[in-house]
Every structure is written in structure tokens, then in C-alpha cells.
């Protein structure tokens, strides 16, 4: 029976029924969600259209107000350029301007400034009430006759924020004659914006081209003069167009807002009308939640009915399909795994082998089925593996993990890690073992390499201090048991600091590698150990070696270092690199009160004696028992 036929009971009817129920529920939710989202978009689009109309109207009002100011300023400039700035002319113009100011509430004040910055209008107007005279400096330095709309400034006398519009007038010879200035009150603009009902938490703001707020409703007194130049409206290149819609989080009150902006084509003004998105979407959200609750209840009812139907369809097939599913899943996992999966019978022969056996042990599954499961294991590891398998067959262990060497058809031998678990029949009796094995040869090689790095000096390749200390204890214990002698040489490069200072650290490293190579060449026996003891100091451990043998090897090392002829200008006695050598020997079995540190101390004292005697020489400390006090108190 094929796998597809065995699984037909589930895969055809129950699965299709479940898919139909799921698709029905998903379709209902999808259509409902789409309709709600479309309703949300409609609300936003309607609001965008409304705010666009408001922004255009308010922007037009701002331009009309500035046009009104400019027409008055142009008339004054013409009269000044024809009649001059005599007191009579100024008085006459002041009266005319005052009458015009009273006739148009949107006009806050007028002023005339001469070419030296003196205010020519009477103190009853705007004269001497501003802290910002940027408009005057602009017209003084620029010969252009266009109007200048200034940044919002605060009157020093009234404390009221105003927006200035100014023009330059010239003397008869064409030189700078002064400035005519008119202002609009920020409060006037804010009160005008109150007429537009655009929302409880919404706002309309007139902003100067450099980002300073000119007027805002609501909260004009709080926000006028504040800069919004660092917002997206002024920084984002995509928003530097005449008008448009954008969504943003307000830096003024932190609310999420929908905004329509309109940039004036004639003045450096931007009108921004905004709606609070939460307030705008609140009615839609309340209605959407209500509608979606009804939809969710309907979908839940359909899902429950569908689940009952699918469960009834499954019930008659589940028992028959369970065994087939179990076997199918096992084979699917085993044959798709990169690890080798095997099933071992109680006779310890392979009943099943996954295709990955070719990669793991080099043999095809068909070549392994029926063969002894433990046939390829290394004889040294076989007893341990066999003991574990026997314990699992007896029921003493349910699972185990072990590492062992196994033969490979092409690669000789590999390391395997196997996880074994007992399998049982329906009656609970064990019927074999399932093993999952993976090749960990590279991991073992890495472990070996890391172990080497842990005991090896990276510069010289000799054993490091840690390895030396371990071996010294081991050899001391062995010499004690065997009643044999143990020798130690301590070798120190003469004047090495001066060598480093004169030739540099790379040359110093090369010198140490050369010395290490010479010392390593003298390790003729398996038990000999050459180590870098620290810095420029080396040690050589010589098991089963007496004083004469120790001295012979030490002298050969000293002589070989000298004859290497490595130039050392700071070593005045020889002119080349040399080394001082200290040696010591002992018989641990005869010196019960001595320890491993005693041997090191004796060799170290001999080394310092060699240095004190002029360096480049070997000194032996003699037998340790001659140097150390006896237990009897001698």
C-alpha cells in the first residue's frame, strides 16, 4: 500500500472540509476588514478635501491682508519719494495712516524710519517698540524695491506679536532713504481662524517661510513665535511643493495629525490646517468595532460548527491511520536527516539504515541492512559500546549517548556520536534500538587543536608554563616511584631587554624562536620537555638524568646559542646573543622533605649564579640534597 493511499482517509475529506471552513472564515474576515478599511480611507479622503478648502481659504485671506498693507505702504513710499521726509510731510502721512488703520481692523500699525534708523512716526504708533530691526538692515543693504514680509516679532510696549511688511524708499539721487513699515496683529489672524469649525482638537496655523509660527488657533499665545523648522514640512524634499496632504506627529502637542498645507506663491507664508486623527477616526472606529464584533461572532459560530464536522470525519479513520502515520513520519525524518538513522534488532543486526549512511560511513543502506550493527567499531571502543547495548536490551537503560571510532569505507576511520533509544511493541516489550549517528571527526580534530593551544606557547611552539608545571609534577612523582633522578635546566637569554630596545620587538621574537629551536633540538627522548618558562627564560626537564648528563646538555645548548652568531651590540663581552644556564638534579625518593618547587629554586639559583659570574656560562647547583637542609636539622 502506497503512502498516498494509506493517508487518503485524512487527506481527502477531512482536510478539504477543514480547508473549506478556514477559507470561509478567512473570506468573511477579509471582506469585512477590507470594507472597514475602505470606510476609513473614505473618512480620511473626505477630511483631506475639507482641510484643503480651509487651507486655501485661509492662505488667500493672509495674502489679501498683506496686499492691503502693501497697497498702503506703496502709497506712502511714493509720497515720500516725491515730497521728502519733512516734518510736515511726515505729520500729514501719519494722519492718513492712522485713519486707514482705524478703518481696517486687520491693520495693526504703520511706521516710517529714515536712512539712519530713526523712527519718524509719532510715539503713539509703532515707533521704538520692536527689538528686531532686521527689516531695516535688509532694505539698507538691498536696492530691491519688493516688499519684505518679516518674521513675527513682539512689540516691546504692548507685548503683542505682529507680522511686518516693509518697503524701501529712496532719496532723489536714488540712494537709500529709509523704510516704510506696516504690521498685522497675530491675535487678529488667530481670531479670524476661530470662525472655521474644523474640529475640537484641530488647528489652523500661519507659518513664516523660515519655520516660525505667525498665528495659530487654538493656543495662539502659547505657540506664536515658536519654530517648527525641524519638522518634515520644512525638511522633507517631497513636501516642498505648493500644496499637499501629509500625516505627522505634532512637535507642539504630540498628537497624530492629518494636515493640508498651502504655500503662498507671493509671500513667504505657509498655511497649515490640521485635524486630530484620533478625533477624526473616533466615529468610524466605534462603528467599525461594533460591526466587526458581529462578524467575529458569525465567524466563531461557523468555525465551531466546522470543527465539530471535521472531528467527526476524523474519528472513524484515526485508529487505522495511526500506525501508518508513525512509520511514515519515522521514515520521513530518517531519510531527510543528514545524520545516519539505524534500527537495530534484538539480534544486534541492522533492520533499517537511512540513505545518509553513504556520507557518514561510506556504505549504502542496502549494503548494511542485515549486517552486525557493531561490526565497524574500533576494538578499543567496542567493549564500552557493547556494554551499553547489552544494558539497553536487558531494560536497564532506556537511552544513551556515546562517542566512538568507526571504520569508514573511504576515509579509514571516523569519530561518530550516537544517540540510542529503546523501541517497544504495543505490549511494552523491547523490540530493538533506534540509533542516530553523526560524524564528529572535525569536532574531534578541533578539540585536539584546542588542547594543543592550551599547553603550547604560541610564539616558540614549545610547551607553555602551564604544561611545564603539570609535567614537572608528573615526572617528580614518577622519579619518586622509580627511585630515579630528575634534572632541570633553566636558560635565560643575556641582556634580552637591551636586545629588544636596540633591534625592536619583531627581532626579539625572532631571537626567542631561534633559542627555542636550539633547545628543542636537545629533546632527544620522549620524556624530555622543553618549555618557555616566561619572557626570555626557558626550562628543560630531563627525567632519569644525572648531574653529568644535565651539565652536558646544558653546555651544548649554551654553546649552540653562542655559535648561532646572532648579532647583539649591547652584549659587550661577546657581541652576539648568548645565554646563561643553571642546572639542578635530585632524587625525589632520597629527599622526602623536598618538593617540585625545590628543584626549580635550585636551578634558578644556579642560573643567577651564572649571571653573577659574567653570563654566557653554565652553573650546576649540585645534588639537591647537598643544597637543602636535612629533616634532621643539619
Check if the beta carbon of residue 96 is closer than 8 Å to that of residue 79.
no
Q: 159 φ, ψ to 5°?
A: 70, 20
Q: What are phi and psi of 536, to 5 degrees?
A: -100, 15
Confidence of residue 325 (pLDDT cuts 50, 70, 90): low
Which CATH superfamily does the domain covering 42-299 fall into? PAS domain (3.30.450.20)
Mean pLDDT of the chain: 81
Cβ atoms of residues 477 and 448 within 8 Å: no
* pLDDT, position 513: 94
On the question of a common fold for 337-445 and 456-627, the answer reads: no
Q: What is the C-alpha to C-alpha distance for residues 215 and 110, in angstroms, rounded to an integer?
A: 20
The answer to whether residue 7 scores a pLDDT higher than 80 is no
Instruction: Tell me the pLDDT tens digit for each residue of 597-634.
Output: 889 999 999 999 999 999 999 999 864 344 344 332 32
Report the CATH number of the 456-627 domain: 3.30.70.270
Q: What is the pLDDT of residues 474-489, one digit of tens each?
A: 999 999 999 999 999 9
Whole-number pLDDT of residue 268: 87
What is residue 324's predicted lDDT score, i.e. its pLDDT? Answer: 52
Domain borders along the chain are: 42-299, 337-445, 456-627
Count of beta carbons in the 10 Å neighbourhood of residue 481: 10
Give me the CATH topology for the region 337-445. Beta-Lactamase (3.30.450)
pLDDT digits (tens, 9 = 90+) for 351-397: 888 888 888 888 887 888 888 888 888 888 888 888 888 888 888 88
Q: Which grid coordinates belong to 187? A: 491675535
* Helix and strand element counts for the chain (H, E): 19, 20
| 164-213: pLDDT as tens digits | 888 888 888 888 888 888 888 888 888 887 777 766 777 888 888 888 88
Q: Is the pLDDT of residue 323 over 60?
A: no
Could you read off the pLDDT of 122-132 as tens digits, one per residue? 544 444 445 45
pLDDT in tens, 109-118: 888 888 887 8
Judge whether 183 and 163 are in contact, CB under 8 Å.
yes
pLDDT tens digits, residue range 562-581? Answer: 999 999 988 888 899 999 99
Dihedral of CA 445/448/450/456: which sign?
A: negative
Q: In this predicted model, which residue has the larger pLDDT, 431 or 532?
A: 532
Q: List, for residues 524-574, the tens digit of each pLDDT value.
A: 888 899 999 988 999 999 999 999 999 999 999 999 999 999 999 888 888
- What's the first-to-final CA gap in the chain, in angstroms? 95
Mean pLDDT of 445-472: 82
Confidence of residue 9 (pLDDT cuts 50, 70, 90): very low
Catalytic residues: 536
Amino acid at each position: 500500500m502506497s503512502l498516498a493511499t494509506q493517508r487518503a482517509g485524512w487527506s481527502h475529506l477531512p482536510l478539504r472540509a477543514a480547508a473549506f471552513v478556514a477559507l470561509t472564515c478567512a473570506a468573511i474576515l477579509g471582506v469585512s476588514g477590507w470594507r472597514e478599511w475602505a470606510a476609513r480611507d473614505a473618512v480620511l479622503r473626505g477630511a483631506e478635501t475639507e482641510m484643503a478648502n480651509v487651507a486655501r481659504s485661509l492662505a488667500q485671506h493672509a495674502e489679501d491682508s498683506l496686499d492691503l498693507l502693501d497697497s498702503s505702504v506703496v502709497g506712502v513710499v511714493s509720497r515720500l519719494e516725491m515730497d521728502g521726509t519733512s516734518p510736515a510731510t511726515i505729520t500729514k502721512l501719519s494722519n492718513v495712516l492712522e485713519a486707514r488703520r482705524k478703518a481696517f481692523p486687520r491693520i495693526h500699525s504703520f511706521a516710517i524710519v529714515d536712512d539712519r534708523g530713526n523712527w519718524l512716526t509719532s510715539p503713539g504708533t509703532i515707533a521704538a517698540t520692536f527689538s528686531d530691526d532686521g527689516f531695516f538692515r535688509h532694505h539698507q543693504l538691498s536696492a530691491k524695491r519688493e516688499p519684505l514680509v518679516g518674521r513675527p516679532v513682539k512689540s516691546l510696549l504692548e507685548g503683542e506679536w505682529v507680522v511686518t511688511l516693509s518697503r524701501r524708499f529712496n532719496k532723489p539721487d536714488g540712494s537709500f532713504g529709509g523704510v516704510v513699515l506696516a504690521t498685522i496683529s497675530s491675535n487678529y489672524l488667530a481670531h479670524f481662524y476661530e470662525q472655521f469649525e474644523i474640529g475640537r482638537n484641530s488647528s489652523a496655523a500661519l507659518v513664516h517661510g523660515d519655520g516660525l509660527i505667525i498665528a495659530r488657533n487654538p493656543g495662539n499665545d502659547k505657540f506664536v513665535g515658536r519654530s517648527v523648522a525641524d519638522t518634515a514640512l520644512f525638511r522633507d524634499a517631497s513636501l516642498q511643493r505648493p500644496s499637499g496632504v501629509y500625516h505627522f506627529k505634532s512637535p507642539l502637542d504630540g498628537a497624530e495629525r492629518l494636515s493640508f498645507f498651502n504655500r503662498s506663491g507671493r509671500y513667504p507664508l505657509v498655511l497649515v490646517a490640521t485635524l486630530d486623527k484620533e478625533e477624526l477616526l473616533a466615529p468610524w472606529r466605534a462603528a467599525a468595532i461594533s460591526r466587526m464584533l458581529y462578524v467575529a461572532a458569525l465567524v466563531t459560530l461557523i468555525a465551531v460548527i466546522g470543527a465539530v464536522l471535521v472531528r467527526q470525519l476524523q474519528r472513524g479513520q484515526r485508529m487505522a491511520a495511526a500506525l501508518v502515520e508513525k512509520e511514515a513520519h519515522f521514515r520521513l525524518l530518517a531519510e531527510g536527516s543528514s545524520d545516519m538513522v539505524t534500527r537495530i534488532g534484538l539480534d544486534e543486526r541492522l533492520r533499517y539504515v537511512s540513505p545518509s549512511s553513504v556520507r557518514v560511513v561510506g556504505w549504502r543502506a542496502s549494503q548494511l541492512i542485515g549486517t552486525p550493527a557493531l561490526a565497524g567499531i574500533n576494538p578499543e571502543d567496542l567493549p564500552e559500546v557493547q556494554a551499553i547495548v547489552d544494558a539497553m536490551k536487558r531494560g536497564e537503560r532506556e537511552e544513551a549517548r556515546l562517542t566512538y571510532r568507526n571504520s569508514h569505507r573511504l576515509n579509514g576511520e571516523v569519530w561518530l556520536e550516537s544517540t540510542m533509544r529503546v523501541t517497544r511493541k504495543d505490549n511494552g516489550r523491547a523490540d530493538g534500538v533506534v540509533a542516530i549517528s553523526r560524524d564528529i571527526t572535525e569536532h574531534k580534530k578541533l578539540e585536539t587543536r584546542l588542547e594543543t593551544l592550551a599547553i603550547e606557547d604560541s610564539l616558540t611552539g614549545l610547551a607553555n608554563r602551564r604544561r611545564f608545571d603539570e609535567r614537572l609534577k608528573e615526572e617528580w612523582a614518577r622519579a619518586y616511584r622509580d627511585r630515579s633522578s630528575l634534572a632541570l635546566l633553566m636558560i635565560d637569554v643575556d641582556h634580552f631587554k637591551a636586545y629588544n630596545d636596540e633591534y625592536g620587538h619583531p627581532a626579539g621574537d625572532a631571537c626567542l624562536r631561534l633559542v627555542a629551536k636550539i633547545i628543542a633540538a636537545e629533546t632527544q627522548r620522549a620524556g624530555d620537555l622543553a618549555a618557555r618558562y616566561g619572557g626570555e627564560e626557558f626550562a628543560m626537564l630531563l627525567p632519569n638524568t644525572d648531574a653529568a648528563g644535565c651539565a652536558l646538555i646544558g653546555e651544548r645548548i649554551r654553546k649552540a646559542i653562542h655559535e648561532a652568531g646572532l648579532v647583539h651590540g649591547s652584549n659587550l663581552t661577546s657581541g652576539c646573543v648568548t645565554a646563561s644556564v643553571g642546572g639542578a638534579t635530585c632524587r625525589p625518593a632520597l629527599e622526602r622533605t623536598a618538593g617540585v618547587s625545590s628543584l626549580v629554586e635550585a636551578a634558578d639559583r644556579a642560573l643567577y649564579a651564572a649571571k653573577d659570574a659574567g653570563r654566557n656560562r653554565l652553573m650546576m647547583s649540585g645534588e639537591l640534597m647537598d643544597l637543602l637542609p636535612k629533616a634532621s636539622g643539619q
